Chains A and B, each alone.
Chain A
Amino acid sequence: MTSLRGWSSLAAASLTSVLLASTSAHAVGDGGVNGAADKDRNISAAANQSRIAITQVSGPTGGERGALSSTDVNWKPPPCWYEPVFTPAQLKNFVENDGKGDVSLRQGWIGSRLWTEHFKDEKDARNYFSAPATAKGYKDYNLGEDGYFWRGVAPDVNDVDDTSKCGQLMFWQDAGEIPDVPDAPTAKTLADYAYDKVKVPETEVELKPAAESTVNLPTWVWLDKGTFQEVKVRAELPGTNLWAETTAKPVALHLEPGTEDAETYPASGECEINDDGSIGTPYKKGDAEQTPPCGITYLRASSGKPYALKASVTWQISWEGTGGAGGDLPDGTFETTQDMNVQEIQSINR
Chain B
Amino acid sequence: MARRTVTTAAALAATAALLLTACGGGDDSSSDDIKGADKGSGSPSASASASASADVDRPKITLPKNFQLTFEDWTSSDPETQALLTDAKEQLRAGYAAIIANEPDGGEALAFYDTRPGLSQDQQWIKSYTGKNLTVFGKLPAFDPKASFATNKKAASLSYCTDESKAYSKNRKTGDVAGNPAGTDPLISYNVSLAKNAQGVWQNLSTRSERGACSR
Contacts and interface: CB of A to CB of B under 8 A. Distances in A.
Nearest to A113: B33
Given A34-B95, A108-B206, A125-B28, A24 B184 contact: yes
B189 A158 contact: yes
Contact of A164 (B3, B150, B170): B150
B61 interface: no
A27 B185 CA distance: 10
Interface in B66-112: 95, 99
Contact of B150 (A31, A102, A110, A163): A163
A158 B117 contact: no
Interface string B189-216: 1110101000000000111111111000
Interface string A15-45: 0000000011111111111111100110000
A146 to B, nearest CB: 29
Contacts of A24: 181, 184, 211
B10 to A, nearest CB: 9
B134 interface: yes
By secondary structure, the B interface counts as mixed
A120 interface: no
Contacts of A125: 28
B151 A126 contact: no
The bracket for how many chain B residues form the interface is: 35 or more
A156 B28 contact: no
B190 to A, nearest CB: 7
B51 interface: no
Q: Which of B3, B7, B150, B195 has its CB near the most chain A CB atoms (within 10 A)?
A: B150
A71 interface: no
Given A29-B168, A29-B177, A36-B209, A128 B191 contact: no
Nearest to B207: A35
12 contacts: A4-B127, A28-B164, A29-B169, A31-B129, A31-B169, A35-B191, A106-B206, A107-B205, A134-B24, A134-B25, A158-B2, A161-B7
Interface of A: 1, 4, 23-37, 40-41, 48, 100, 102, 106-111, 113-114, 123-129, 131, 133-134, 156-159, 161-164, 167
